[in-house]
Amino acid sequence: MDATHVKDRSDHDLLAAVAHGDRSAFERLYHSYEKRVFQYVRTLVADGSLAEEIVGDTMLAVWRGAGAFAYTSRVSTWMFGIARHKALDALRRSGRRQREVELDGAAELPHPHERPDEAVLRNQLATLTQRAMAALTREHQEILRLVFYEEQPYEEISALLGIPTNTVKTRVFYAKQRLKEQLAHLGQTESIR
């Protein structure tokens, strides 16, 4: 049994316990997803405090709606769907236009056998990638976050975004192309300095 399957099963078990009012299970689920949901919401809204508010609203909806989960997708897909709807509703209510925002980088710990020069190069590449991602459209940022950071299957992204699976594949293709272009452009710019 692979790690993803074990995580999905564990999340399903936690959500089932939450549906029965288990506060401890909800706390574990909350801590497991709080940062991931925040980072995803930040691809949709530029305001960090609004993103935090949306995370709170999302988690409250998870607490209240755990019994309605149909077990036809990953718990993470369901939660990202709730977060996406909450974010889009908040943007509509506030009249703010959806903007491209910089993706929050996940803090990485140094690898135990990594030399200092390797760590510097890895950090430079991470910074360059974040800058390239920030230059993409919100739509491309969102699709790349779901595919690469959240490792969501195309079929579940299709359901989450309400688009055909082939459209997901096409968006991923074009988003990767734009990311490569941005990385090349930034790489040239950085080497000129």
Q: In this structure, what CATH number is given to the domain that contains residue 156?
A: 1.10.10.10
Average confidence (pLDDT) over 26-48:
92
Task: Kindly report the CATH number assigned to the domain that includes residue 16.
Answer: 1.10.1740.10
pTM for this entry: 0.71
Domain that holds residue 19: 1-99
Answer whether residue 104 is part of any domain: no
Q: What is the pLDDT of residue 8?
A: 66
3-state secondary structure of 18: helix
Same domain, 94 and 117: no
Same domain, 2 and 84: yes
Separation in Å, CA 15 to CA 8, 10, 28, 40: 10, 9, 10, 20
Cβ–Cβ contacts within 10 Å for residue 54, how many?
Answer: 28
Residue 138 amino acid letter: R
Range from 7-11, 77-81, 87-91, 188-192 that averages highest in pLDDT: 77-81
Percent of the chain with pLDDT over 90: 56
The total number of structural domains in the chain stands at 2
Same domain, 153 and 82: no
The answer to whether 40 and 80 are in contact (CB under 8 A) is yes
Average confidence (pLDDT) over 140-159:
92
3-state secondary structure of 21: coil
Answer whether residue 106 is part of any domain: no
Same domain, 93 and 176: no
pLDDT higher than 90, residue 72: no
pLDDT-derived band at 185, boundaries 50, 70, 90: confident
Residue at which a domain ends, from 99, 126, 142 = 99
> Which residues contact residue 179 at a Cβ distance below 8 angstroms, ignoring those fewer than 6 apart?
129, 132, 133, 136, 140, 144
For residue 66, what is the DSSP state?
G
Residue at which a domain ends, from 67, 99, 131 = 99
Q: pLDDT tens digit string along 73-132?
A: 899 999 999 999 999 998 888 775 444 344 444 344 455 566 676 767 767 777 787 888
